[in-house]
Copies of this chain bind each other. A is one copy, B any other.
Amino acid sequence: MSRDLIAKPLTAEAFAPFGDVLEVAESTPDKIINQGMCGRHHDRATLDFSDGQAGLSLFDSKPRDLPYAVELVERHPEGSQAFVPLNGVPMLVIVANDLGDRPGQVHAFLSQPGQAINLHRGTWHGVLAPYQAQGQYIVIDRIGAGANLEEHWFDTPWVVTEIATDTSPAEG
């Protein structure tokens, strides 16, 4: 079995097992506010901070490029984690199915400008990976007691070797 991955375009449908994609393109406003000037797409992410609270942090990360080796995934058992691009830099989004005590199949997506994501509580994911440029992101995650972190290091890294240009189903 190959450990190579092709990064697929990030769509709400493909990402649904792992989290939410927030974007205007795939959404109809729930309410028109501000005297007709603004559409509100209301409450579009499943936030869950267990016994903690929501906090806003800012992540400033160095860029990644292909081939991108994924040696590690992690998860936050006590909370969801959302990433909103602040300077328009797309993310290489790495997630994995859950086998209970460890990750299973790994999936790679490339986000587009205008897309924000929310990883559901407990979802295995790679670290923040801005694609080809230094990236800043507002992060909405759990502020609270406890480590809230599990890591899994792969014996053989997965490697994102290619960016797909269509939305055909992921391999594996």
Contacts and interface: CB of A to CB of B under 8 A. Distances in A.
Given A34-B128, A43-B55, A140-B56, A86 B84 contact: yes
- 9 nearest CB pairs, A to B: A54-B54, A38-B61, A45-B56, A41-B58, A34-B127, A43-B55, A84-B84, A84-B138, A39-B60
Interface stretch (A96-104, A112-120, A164-172): A112-120
A156 interface: no
25 contacts: A20-B56, A22-B56, A29-B60, A33-B127, A38-B59, A38-B61, A38-B62, A38-B127, A38-B128, A39-B60, A41-B58, A43-B143, A47-B55, A47-B56, A49-B54, A53-B54, A54-B54, A54-B140, A56-B140, A58-B116, A84-B86, A84-B116, A84-B138, A85-B86, A116-B138
Q: How many copies does the complex hold?
A: 2
A49 to B, nearest CB: 8
A86 B45 CA distance: 15
Contacts of A84: 84, 86, 116, 138
A4 interface: no
Contact of A56 (B29, B55, B118, B128): B118
Q: How large is the interface on A (under 10, 10 to 19, 20 to 34, 35 or more residues)?
A: 35 or more
